[in-house]
Amino acid sequence: MKRRALLKNLGGLLLVPALPFNNTFEEKTPVIRMAHLTDVHLKDKWDAPARFAKCLHHVQQQKGVNFIMNGGDIVFDMNKENIDTVNAQWKLWHSVMRAECSLPVHYTLGNHDIWWNENDNGQALYGKQYSLEQMQLVSPYYSFIKNGWKFIVLDSVHLDIDGTWYIGKLGDEQFSWLANELKTSPTNMPVCVISHIPILSATLMVDDNDGGNKWEILGGDMHTDTSKIVSLFYQHPNVKLCLSGHIHLRDKVVYNNVTYICNGAVSGSWWEGNKRETAPGYGLIDLYADGSFNEQYVIY
């Protein structure tokens, strides 16, 4: 085509100098990579210590993990156990962690980490105090900031209204604290919330209902104050991610632009294989400066 014809056909198009073509895409770099390990239930049985060590090694082989977020149910069970059994379980925990883990750990209190033996309720370590001392925590709920993200760790386990067992909730004092934590956080600071009992989860729909026409969700399986909490989160769009455990099943629910992830269990079905279709594993989560994240469930 001759130059005059070319210009005529181009009409009003603006010609610009050719630019070199770049076929590479810029990938975001996470500001934090964390591993979410929940429901370890460590006990000197079923080869659990060696298998937990294998999990810790697997986590530390992942590139760039900054810290471990422990989701609770650390030891096998403290409920109604005698003090010698409780001491032995925690001694084993500290022994494995000292020998096999070099990463910082932030802890969450689980229902199996609470000493509820009615015969010992007059002792100073009754309830949550024993485990708080083992985890070196002053309070069962707390927050911390790392690399531009705020992490809020909740205490989701409380005695039921009859005082005999537990349910998932925050209580008035902790809820007020949570509301203030969100209110006083910069609106451009993304927030990750960690609880042991799920705030919101679809895993409970998987349980058998014996052919009935409804599911029964017990107060010990999911937060009983879910509606109140999600309404609070709705007022704070910087709440991006909520992590939990407790059910030993893996799911992801997105509601009001908040992602709720129940991250299975390191112990699977209490060290006896899979819990239904969820294999023993842990969550690996990349958090970015803009409040976005990538996550996966890693079978170790």
Looking at residue 259, what is its pLDDT? Answer: 98
Looking at residue 217, what is its pLDDT? Answer: 87
Looking at residue 80, what is its pLDDT? Answer: 80
Whether pTM > 0.85 for this model: the answer is: yes
- Tell me the pLDDT tens digit for each residue of 163-180: 778 999 999 999 999 999
CA distance 126 to 226: 28
Nearest to 105 by CA among 56, 44, 138: 56
Kindly compute the dihedral angle of the four CA atoms of residues 78, 196, 132, 99, in this order, to the nearest 10 degrees: 80
User: Strand pairing partners for 299?
Assistant: 281
Q: What is the 3-state secondary structure (H, E, C) of the chain?
A: CCHHHHHHHHCCCCCCCCCCCCCCCCCCCCCEEEEEECCCCECCCCCHHHHHHHHHHHHHHCCCCCEEEECCCCECCCCCCCHHHHHHHHHHHHHHHHHHCCCCEECCCCHHHCECCHHHCCCCCCECHHHHHHHCCCCCCEEEEECCEEEEECCCEEECCCCCCEEECCHHHHHHHHHHHHHCCCCCCCEEEECCCCCCCCHHHHCCCCCCCCCCCCCCCCECCHHHHHHHHHCCCCEEEEEECCCCCEEEEEECCEEEEEECCCCCCCCCCCECCECCEEEEEEECCCCCEEEEEEEC
Amino acid found at 31: V
Mean pLDDT by 10 residues, the chain (300 residues): 42 38 59 98 97 98 98 94 92 98 98 78 72 96 98 95 86 98 98 98 82 82 98 98 98 98 98 96 98 98
Looking at residue 3, what is its pLDDT? Answer: 42
CA distance 40 to 10: 68
CA distance 72 to 89: 14
Domains of the chain: 29-204+213-299 (3.60.21.10)
Nearest to 289 by CA among 184, 181, 188, 194: 188
Looking at residue 24, what is its pLDDT? Answer: 40
